[in-house]
Amino acid sequence: KQFNPDTFPQPIVRPKFSHIGNEIDLVCILDSGADFCTISISVGKSLGIDFSKTAPYEFRKKWDNVDKNNMKLVNKLIDETIEKKYAIPTNYGCACGRTTAAFYYPIMIEIGDFKKEIMALWTPADVPSLLGRIGIFDSLKEITFKKGRKFLIKI
């Protein structure tokens, strides 16, 4: 699909996120530098996500000890977290240079015909939502950025 973001100078898309029957459309920036989709916790709470139900300690320890360079193991852990619907507390370093406490939690995303449950990073910061590589870029056939304000996503 081709998107024309009108007044926004960056590559944006408006996917639908859903959780337990609740839905929201969000303007998101396509960010090839972001590992995960990053969304404000306030959005997650409005969708009914309970971030207080965290994964058991032994499972959280797997996240702490995973070799982040081994994408096969990372993807296996992501799949297991999505299946069990665990909230995983974490700290992440944002582009601003600060470290922020956050959560990993799965969410259903729809962009046109593309529909997939992905792992997202939920931040307490009030920031623009980002669509990152894991779950989005690695699921698409092609993303083409063209001069001007148009880009093309092939699903």
Does the predicted model carry a pTM greater than 0.75?
yes
Confidence of residue 104 (pLDDT cuts 50, 70, 90): very high
Pairing of strands 16-19, 22-25: antiparallel
86-108 mean pLDDT? 88
Residue 154 pLDDT exceeds 90: no
Query: How is residue 137 annotated by DSSP?
Result: G
Q: How many CB atoms lie within 10 A of CB 151?
A: 17
40-57 mean pLDDT? 95
